[in-house]
Amino acid sequence: MKRRLVILTEIIAPYRIPVFNALAARAEVDLHVIFLAETDPGLRQWQVYRDEIRFPYQVLKSYRRRVGRFNVLFTRGVSTALRARSPEIILSGGYNYPAMWQALRWARRRGIPFLLWSESNILDARRNFWGVEALKRRFIHACQSHVVPGASATAYLQTFGVAQERIFIAPNAVDVDRFSNGTEQARQDPGLRQRLGLPRRYLLYVGRLVRAKGVFDLLTAYATLPEGIRRDVGLVLAGDGQEFEELCRRSREIHQGVVVFPGFLQRDELPAYYALAEALVFPTHSDPWGLVVNEAMACGLPVIVSKVAGCVADLVRNGENGYVIGAGDPQALSQAMDQLLNAPQLQRQMGHHSLEISSRFTPEAWAQGLVRAIAGNLGESRG
């Protein structure tokens, strides 16, 4: 029997399409997705891959407004959209927009199970002022159950007193096949490195160029690598953000080394950059998960990740498929980079381990987790 599920989420992000497609393919689910907006051009330049969408969806009318340091998204038509679908269960991708609170009230008045899809983790540095934290706590306790990507998000919810039996794991995933196949094709193209203007060897960062992602730590760590390594290995920072100009300025001060800024890369451009890299370095100070780590691992790369990233507990095994370092510690970061670059056999072994681990973090695994959550909240077997 198909259960009518509505997912309420912010935008048509490229990394959500594969997992929603996998869920829509399940015989147990009649899926409908309500997007609050099509995209957020002020934050990222993601392409919207409408031709890949294999699930019914709609985009609400909305507009954004900056209120202090908060990005507020106002929408119309949430209740109308929910009434039209008559869901048996609702999954909300957060609690930070008015539409999500409106949907929560709508569901509670009708006795419909309302689940929170939360990625927040206990080590994430982001903390709001007490009023926002109080609202968050109220929203969390009003939800019947919770869907999380892994161990760190589970531990975070337990600090709010959420019982283990109310937490369902749907592991965060990317389209593993797309990234691994794209990587294989890129490595077979002998002229690709030159066309992209990439160093012969390089370490790769992918993400926003903002202080919270640890990009200045990364630049400092690279600058303190032994000179011989810097002559042989470059640093590629793929992305955009408010610190771009300052990073460029500081990179020019590094002698006997090369730093490349290819700009923001769309999903289909990324496999080539992963394919030719030595490793992904993700030294974030604050991140609920870090899907670029999934992507890099699906491309067979070792990863160097700060311990605050939510993905670490589930994806990164220190010394096995990469290294875990403290956030805001350029010296430890430099040591990890140096150690990896001087051990080519270990680097290859770590890449193989990354592939093995990433094979379990697929859209189908995420969909299976959602099916268990639906069944558990509608009084059926959790499977």
Question: What would the pLDDT profile of 11-39 be if each residue is shown by its tens digit?
Answer: 999 999 999 999 999 999 999 999 999 98
Residue 68 scores a pLDDT above 80 = no
Q: How confident is the model at residue 185 (pLDDT cuts 50, 70, 90)?
A: very high
Tell me, what's the pLDDT at 379?
A: 82
Domains 3-173+362-377 and 176-358 share a fold: yes
Tell me, what's the pLDDT at 67?
A: 63
Please classify residue 71 by burial: count the beta carbons closer than 10 Å to its beta carbon, then call 0-12 exposed, 13-18 middle and 19+ buried: middle
CA distance 244 to 195: 23
Tell me, what's the pLDDT at 84?
A: 97
Tell me, what's the pLDDT at 69?
A: 61
Residue 59 scores a pLDDT above 60 = yes
pTM: 0.94
Residue 186 scores a pLDDT above 80 = yes
Please give the CATH number for the structural domain made up of 176-358: 3.40.50.2000
Return the HEC string of the chain. Answer: CCEEEEEEECCCCCCCHHHHHHHHCCCCEEEEEEECCCCCCCCCCCCCCHHHCCCCEEECEEEEEEECCEEEEEEECHHHHHHHHCCCEEEECCCCCHHHHHHHHHHHHHCCCEEEECCCCCCCCCCCCHHHHHHHHHHHHHCCEEEECCHHHHHHHHCCCCCHHHEEECCCCCCHHHHHHHHHHHHCCCCHHHHHCCCCCEEEEECCCCHHHCHHHHHHHHHCCCHHHHHHCEEEEECCCCCHHHHHHHHCCCCCCCEEEEECCCHHHHHHHHHCCCEEEECCCCCCCCHHHHHHHHCCCCEEEECCCCCHHHHCCECCCEEEECCCCHHHHHHHHHHHHCCHHHHHHHHHHHHHHHCCCCHHHHHHHHHHHHHHHCCCCCC
Tell me, what's the pLDDT at 383?
A: 47
What topology does CATH give the domain 3-173+362-377?
Rossmann fold (3.40.50)
Q: Are strands 114-117 and 89-92 parallel, antiparallel or unpaired?
A: parallel
Tell me, what's the pLDDT at 132?
A: 77
Q: What is the pLDDT of residues 79-124, one digit of tens each?
A: 999 999 999 999 999 998 999 999 999 999 999 999 999 999 877 6
Tell me, what's the pLDDT at 72?
A: 78
CA distances from 299 to 245, 333, 354 (A): 30, 22, 8
Share of the chain above pLDDT 90, in %: 88
Q: What are the residue ranges spanned by the domains of the chain?
A: 3-173+362-377, 176-358
Q: What is the pLDDT of residues 236-295, one digit of tens each?
A: 999 999 999 999 999 999 988 999 999 999 999 999 999 999 999 999 999 999 999 999
Average pLDDT, whole number, for the chain?
94
Q: What is the pLDDT of residues 194-248, one digit of tens each?
A: 999 999 999 999 999 999 999 999 999 999 999 999 999 999 999 999 999 999 9
Tell me, what's the pLDDT at 167?
A: 98
